[in-house]
Amino acid sequence: MGVWASLDAMWEMPAEKRIFGAVLLFSWTVYLWETFLAQRQRRIYKTTTHVPLELGQIMDSETFEKSRLYQLDKSTFSFWSGLYSEIEGTLILLFGGIPYLWRLSGRFCGYAGFGPEYEITQSLVFLLLATLFSALTGLPWSLYNTFVIEERHGFNQQTLGFFMKDAIKKFIVTQCILLPVSSLLLYIIKIGGDYFFIYAWLFTLVVSLVLVTIYADYIAPLFDKFTPLPEGKLKQEIEVMAKSIDFPLTKVYVVEGSKRSSHSNAYFYGFFKNKRIVLFDTLLEEYSVLNKDIQEESGMEPRNDGEGDSEEIKAKVKNKKQGCKNEEVLAVLGHELGHWKLGHTVKNIIISQMNSFLCFFLFAVLIGRKELFVAFGFYDSQPTLIGLLIIFQFIFSPYNEVLSFCLTVLSRRFEFQADAFAKKLGKAKDLYSALIKLNKDNLGFPVSDWLFSMWHYSHPPLLERLQALKNSKQD
């Protein structure tokens, strides 16, 4: 009876109080669900202290223990940072942080001679203050993650000065993109009439395509050094493989990711006949800074036959050598190019834009509802930017959770398909060894709770991918 009485009392509340209560309730429900999943996975990290039998051939006990401790540290950090984030968000809502920041933005505009009629100007000041607040409150967590956790496990390559310079640069670049794009979007919504949602969607589509096009050429080089892959066997083999599947490759770059982290990656970008491939230096065995450090510590170049090297140096090379051989790099690229050949990139863009159109359409339906604004403390005004924030972040949150899970499931399916494509290229054996090396280099823990992995993993667990490739290897 008590539960039903509470529900009846809730429905008797004004609409704005029901909306506010539902938003808070759902937010904490999602947080508790995520915490439950994380604790299931954490139990795996704590109890799986020995290499499982099925992993005995692909992972040594030392690497297994290192990855276990790394993931335990990350899990602890995630718990406390997630709890802080949830409490911070709740307090902001309960104490009217959003309307307060809007009024503060109005005061700053007033000092500069802009009245309430300059809503777009006030919106830009609001965005600037909100992102500044987010950057400052997130900075201690980012510092701890980089200089304690990543440093402890050998991944961090940054100095404090480099980190701060990078953070300031990221904030400035973000504002240079966010503020002009937001002002134009708000203007389009203001003047678009009954069909503004179509124009707003088309505008965001164009912006996203432009950003994807210019990111690697003009934005990413502000943070990392990109150099063309030198002429040689690897570049020739990449070009041959690209040509064999009609991939319109124009350039291959190596990015100096090692100056900030030892984690590795590879990706391609570009539209139509202008595709480029980017390889992290940490992915390439001959480029890895860690491997060069090992050579310097040994005091000599390693001999091909291994003779003359001390047992200590041999052990160090065996345990610490990072990156993939050329054949394995080609296998990884075969997987990545499989995403292109199988249309995964286009499919993801289509899904993203269909979702974007639907959200703008529903925004157009809901933006006139005054109770949505009243629920979050806006009694006398209905600013467009605040409407976007309320509807996209809070009202759509249940839909966003469901969509995120569906995209995670789809992503895992795409990964299996891309692996199968690499197999068709004859790269099964090399992709098999590359996945093991990348898992070792990044200290990935190969054992996972089924529910946690189902909800979170955009890539299939390592053992599942290896099993699919192993069948092909045996054939």
Residue numbers in the known binding site are 335, 339, 415
Question: Which parts of 425-457 fold into alpha helices (H)?
Answer: 428-441, 450-456
Q: Which of 419, 430, 441, 449 is catalytic?
A: 419
Binding residues for Zn(2+): 335, 339, 415
Contact yes or no for 48/68 (Cβ under 8 A): yes
Q: Which helix (H) or strand (E) holds 276?
A: strand 275-280
Q: Which of 336, 430, 441, 449 is catalytic?
A: 336
- Strand-pair partners of 324: 284
- β 249-255/226-228 pair status: antiparallel
The reply to whether 336 belongs to the active site is yes
CA dihedral for 397, 398, 401, 402, sign (positive or negative): negative
Tokens of 190: 């203001």
CA dihedral for 330, 335, 341, 346, sign (positive or negative): negative
Q: C-alpha 218: how far from its chain's center?
A: 20
| CA–CA separation, 98 and 95 (whole Å) | 9
For 416, counting Cβ atoms within 10 Å of its Cβ (0-12 exposed, 13-18 middle, 19+ buried), the class is middle
- 61-94 and 119-144 helices, crossing angle to 10°: 150
| CA–CA separation, 336 and 252 (whole Å) | 14
Provide the annotated active-site residues: 336, 419
